[in-house]
A = this chain, B = another copy of it.
Amino acid sequence: MSENVVQRLRDEIENGIISNDFAPGARLDEVQLATRFGVSRTPVREALMQLNAIGLVEIRPRRGAVVIDPGPHRIFEMFEVMAELEGLAGSLAARRFTDADRTTILAAHADCERSFSAGNSDAYYYDNERFHKAIYAASHSGFLAEQCVALHRRLQPYRRLQLRVRNRVATSFAEHGAIVEAILAGDAEQARTLLRQHVSIQGERFSDLVATLASR
């Protein structure tokens, strides 16, 4: 199944945080997690250390680990950086994409269209992720792709909230269309600009985010 216990624990706990099973600010008790996953405290601690290094968990000396709660402002900052990285990925993709990349991007885009037309916003969420990953891959920068995936993952819960906003799926899909066009046309600067705008949460979208966060 999995490589080893620690990696599995790391993923499980990380997923728990991402999916809000472990809410921001929640204490992560070592023995509790250990019994829950049927292991001893040692691998749990090692997993928590990793999450600490990534910035998902804070470890206060002698007082245990808690899930980090990035306030609205920090979430905004994270989207800001994400927008920049996606923009870079787009511009590189426009210059470097191969035939295989084009196929993958178009396939993901087509799936988005299907989910959008079906009004299935959960499916759209999944396809949207594939679409963006296709662009990371087309950038042909392994490091950039890793950074993007990691940040994308951390922002997942908030992105999900965003899609609930009325008409957001329609807008998102329309933006995807323009992005695909720019990339396949090889227009790096246009791809960069469009992706940056697509990802960043400016103006009222930020207000929406804050409002949705508050009402949890």
* Contacts from A to B (Cβ < 8 Å): 3-4, 6, 10, 42, 45-47, 49-55, 61, 74, 77-78, 80-81, 84-85, 87-88, 92, 141-144, 146-147
Q: Is the interface of A mostly helix, strand, loop or mixed?
A: helix
Question: Which residues of the other chain, B, contact A92 by a CB distance below 8 angstroms?
Answer: 80
| A3-B61, A61-B4 given; A81·B42 CB < 8 A | no
In the assembled complex, the Cα of A178 lies from the Cα of B55 at a distance in Å of 35
With both chains docked as a complex, state the minimum distance between the C-beta of A200 and any C-beta of chain B, in angstroms: 11
Interchain residue pairs with CB less than 8 A apart (16): A3-B61, A10-B53, A42-B42, A49-B50, A50-B53, A53-B54, A55-B146, A78-B143, A80-B88, A80-B143, A80-B144, A81-B147, A84-B84, A84-B85, A84-B87, A84-B88
**Copies, count:** 2
